[in-house]
Amino acid sequence: GVSVEPADGLAPVWNSDVKFYCVKDSSNSPVAYFYFDPYSRPSEKRGGAWMNVVFSRSRVLARNGSPVRLPVAHMVCNQTPPVGDKPSLMTFREVETVFHEFGHALQHMLTKQDEGFVSGIRGVEWDAVELPSQFMENWCYHKNTLLSIAKHYETGELLPEEIYAKLVAAKNFRAGTFSLRQIRFASVDMELHTTYDPNGSLSIYDVDRRVAERTQVLAPLPEDKFLCSFSHIFAGGYAAGYYSYKWAEVLSADAFSAFEDVGLDNEKAIEETGRRFRETVLALGGGKSPLEVFVSFRGREPSPEALLRHNGLLPVAAL
């Protein structure tokens, strides 16, 4: 029920590469705006990619007779810029990144909350802040979606079937190992920030080794000191919260499975499911707890089954 249109010239930009867009609803009325700054400029911006708030939706801060101030977001990436006559040719990882950041932006822009402190991405509990972004990444592996954008820039030839198959296979390569790795990190984080006694007989490395015994197939080397560089939980805001990475994968995979359940090729059913996703996950922001929001969309509490299936980790029945 929404469309995105270029709105260059409607707002000032900080670089000629930056584009400005308007998001409209089905009645063609603006509901939000966003900036997109796609290309790397090492002298001006840090690496990585992010989405952030310019303005939140707010009834109190509305101006010029408008009933509500519309939300504005910015998305910043570091794609390889065009060179000469050659356009910027995105890697698959860069495509995933754009989908990811646009998921954050959608939650900010399609909010129905009129109180700025809980509208959009503001006030969303840490557990669920990555749900819309990781949900959007699933569409990169949906064949029809990917083939609608992945074309040879000169000939228009569609992405070959064998390359698509390799992309899907690569996604699940060592998925079990990487899942166990994240479980190890989350378990160590939780124990160190809940029950660990720094004045006791065990060091933080002892805790890590004990956790690794039950979560790793291959034991870490005796001299392993990865905790020294685990900035997420000591200096990055994820103390007792690193589990949210894996939990967000559970939520996003389960949310995407709602679309799989109705049939990804059933356009009408996809639209109806997408509308429900918009009215719950994207619209409610921090105005309700994430669990309430998820249950409103899915009709039940989250299940890890979809994530295990997407990662190829469910047992296959013998023929």
Active site residues per annotation: 101
**CA 218 to CA 198: how far, in whole Å?**
27
Q: Which residue has the tokens 């509305």?
A: 62
* Residue matched to tokens 């900010």: 108
Structure tokens given for 153: 């820039």
* Phi-psi domain of 92 (left: phi exceeds 0; alpha: psi -120 through 50; beta: other): alpha
Q: Distance between CA atoms of 191 and 211, rounded to whole angstroms? A: 9
Token pair in block for residue 26: 């089905």
Structure-block tokens of residue 134: 């990781």
Q: Taking a C-beta distance cutoff of 8 angstroms, is the pair 297, 135 a contact?
A: no
Helix or strand or coil: residue 156? coil
